[in-house]
Amino acid sequence: MKNYELAKIFDEMGDILDFLGENPFRVRTYKRASQIIYGLSDDIEILFKSGKLAEIKGIGESILSKVEEFLKTGKIHNYEELKAKVPQGILELLNIPGIGPKGLKALYDNLHITNFDELIKACEDKLVQKLPGFGPKKEENILKGLLRTKEAVFRFPIGLVYEDVLNLLERVREIKGVKRAEVAGSFRRMKETIGDADIEVSGEDGAGIIKNFTQLDGIKEIISEGDTKGSVILHNGLQVDIRVVESGSFGACLQYFTGSKEHNVKLRGIAKEKGFKINEYGIFKGDKFIAGENEEDIYKTLGLIWIPPELREDKGEIELAQAGELEDILKELIDYDDIKGDVHCHSSYSDGGETIIAMAISAKRLGYEYIVITDHSQSLKIAKGLEIERLYKQWEEIDKINKSGELGNFKIFKGTEVDIKSDGALDYPDDVLKNIDFVIASIHSGFRESEQVITKRIIRAMENPYVTAIGHPTGRILNTRDPYNVNLIEIFKKAKETNTFLEINAYFDRLDLNDVNVRIAKEYGVKFVIGTDSHNTSQLKNIRFGIGQARRAMLIKGDVVNTHPLAEFEREIKNKRGAIC
Ligand SMILES: [Zn+2]
Ligand SMILES: [Zn+2]
């Protein structure tokens, strides 16, 4: 998929135009297109050819023609021209928190800054603080941001590369001589981010398999190819390593390279106690090979049941297996086909790219029984939040679709993602909220407030009887924004007390709450919903990443409200109102 490459190009075009002081409308067009393309789960090439890309709001003629040019030629002429207008090295500075294109322009004009090292030196020499609009505090923040970014190792959010890796795996399985193939590593464990992908293969003629592998579509560069191992880079920049082993070692190899390191260290300890030795070729007693073809046999030899990859973190899963308690948990563990409806979806009424009916039809195709449309509330102007009048219009449209029967038993719920304002008040009055089926309350402003203030804001929102759930409870965005300061324990206690659900936001840049927090919240008796925060139909599939988090946190089906079928879900979301009103 060329989605990520294109998203990066449009983002950069927006930055360059902004740096050059061009029309903000044009800047916004590119930034918006970049965001939309970044978030697509489907291959942009397929969406383009089928005409579906053109249907997404925010993708206009000028963007479409550039997408077409890139798909045909691998280049965008206009982008090359723009790049030539700015010094090389300056664009990467745009990703440093606290600078922005206007600030960067000032640094360039006054101090001739064109790259990372020059800016670090200028900060250290205290030159930056002397510029108008900067000051010592800002200089300090810029320097912090610079040093942090320089040290950070980029890891791909899993959703950004997921489809590509799955497609590649399918094609590996079709290579002549391949018997079994699986992706190992953090990809298989459904971690939030992945550094690279490892494909383990069993089969004959390793050299032939690897030769064929390096010729597959979607590969941009071959790093190495040997008799049993190979390495390539995909179009999206991800490195993929492949390893071919004999059939008898496939399970051991998969287990070994799936990790996590901590999980495997503990397993090796248990093996040692029992007089065994495990490595990537199998489990051995002395020199005698005991098993290795299937993962199950490795675990079984150690007296354990097979542990799903998402759980392999050494967070108690091995002890539970030893005590014989894991089996019952696994029977109830939330699975990828357990979700019955999406509870966090935007439509073109606010900043979504598609209509309500389009979102609903796609949700129904996923096998869902319902969807909740949760557009933004009135104050969030940047996302075209709905004034009350337009909210009423949306309700009319939802009622009409539901009554028409065109979706069968599938139901569209009236929802909102209402802003939690700076004092914790909500962005719609109670007499509006009470007529909304599902109210998600979220923080979209004032991220830098103190822990006390933010915690209070969310608690006040939960005290409102009409708030069903808290959206993305920590506000973090992977690789971009840290969580805001919030006392989660207070939030968990209040969520339990008020019967407010907490969201596991499955949008792959958020994954918020993450598994660690979900696990703690569960101990406080909290119930959850998993929502995708979809802004177009392509994103509905992201639900799998939220489920991955939930599985790692060992949530069972009953912990997640939208695993319930329609009637039960409807009852559950009324519970809080019944109790408080
Ligand atoms: Zn939100
Ligand atoms: Zn949202």
Task: Give the pLDDT band of residue 150 (cuts 50, 70, 90).
Answer: confident
Q: Does residue 166 sit in the same domain as residue 256?
A: yes
Q: At what angle do helices 116-124 and 135-151 cross, to 10 degrees?
A: 140
| Ligand number nearest to the C-alpha of 512 | 1
Which of 305, 332, 359 corresponds to the end of one domain? Answer: 332
| Ligand number nearest to the C-alpha of 534 | 2
Neighbour-count burial of 98, counting CB atoms closer than 10 A to its CB (0-12 exposed, 13-18 middle, 19+ buried): middle
Distance from Cα 344 to the centre of ligand 2, integer Å: 6
- Which two tokens mark 322? 């030893």
Distance from Cα 477 to the centre of ligand 1, integer Å: 11
| Ligand number nearest to the C-alpha of 352 | 2
- Per-residue model confidence as pLDDT tens digits over 356-396: 999 999 999 999 999 999 999 999 888 889 999 999 999 99
Q: At what angle do helices 61-73 and 77-84 cross, to 10 degrees?
A: 100
Given a cut of 50, whether residue 581 has pLDDT beyond it is no
Domain extent for 211? 157-332
- Per-residue model confidence as pLDDT tens digits over 448-489: 899 999 999 999 999 999 999 999 999 999 988 889 999 999
The whole-number pLDDT of residue 486 equals 96
| Ligand number nearest to the C-alpha of 416 | 2
| Ligand number nearest to the C-alpha of 447 | 1
Q: Does residue 359 sit in the same domain as residue 391?
A: yes
Distance from Cα 471 to the centre of ligand 2, integer Å: 7
The residue-averaged pLDDT of 44-70 equals: 93
Q: Does residue 349 sit in the same domain as residue 232?
A: no
pTM of the complete model: 0.89
Given a cut of 60, whether residue 580 has pLDDT beyond it is no
Q: Identity (one letter) of the amino acid at 352?
A: G
Lowest mean pLDDT among 97-111, 314-328, 466-480: 97-111
Q: Does residue 559 sit in the same domain as residue 419?
A: yes
Q: Does residue 260 sit in the same domain as residue 194?
A: yes
Distance from Cα 467 to the centre of ligand 1, integer Å: 14
Q: Residue 477 in contact with residue 500, Cβ under 8 Å?
A: no
Distance from Cα 471 to the centre of ligand 1, integer Å: 6
| Ligand number nearest to the C-alpha of 442 | 1
The whole-number pLDDT of residue 579 equals 60
Distance from Cα 95 to the centre of ligand 1, integer Å: 22
Distance from Cα 443 to the centre of ligand 1, integer Å: 7
Which of 290, 309, 332 corresponds to the end of one domain? Answer: 332
Q: Does residue 310 sit in the same domain as residue 374?
A: no
Distance from Cα 217 to the centre of ligand 1, integer Å: 36
Q: Does residue 127 sit in the same domain as residue 182?
A: no
Distance from Cα 46 to the centre of ligand 2, integer Å: 26
Which of 151, 181, 211 corresponds to the end of one domain? Answer: 151
Q: Tell me the Ramachandran region of residue 351: left when phi exceeds 0, alpha when psi lies from -120 to 50, beta otherwise.
A: alpha
Q: Does residue 437 sit in the same domain as residue 555?
A: yes
| Ligand number nearest to the C-alpha of 531 | 2
Query: CATH number for the domain including 570?
Result: 3.20.20.140
Q: How far is the CA of 81 from the CAs of 95, 230, 353, 499, in angstroms?
A: 21, 37, 30, 56
Q: Does residue 266 sit in the same domain as residue 352?
A: no
Q: At what angle do helices 77-84 and 3-19 cross, to 10 degrees?
A: 40
Q: Does residue 328 sit in the same domain as residue 351?
A: no
Q: Does residue 72 sit in the same domain as residue 103?
A: yes
Write down the mean pLDDT value for the chain. 94
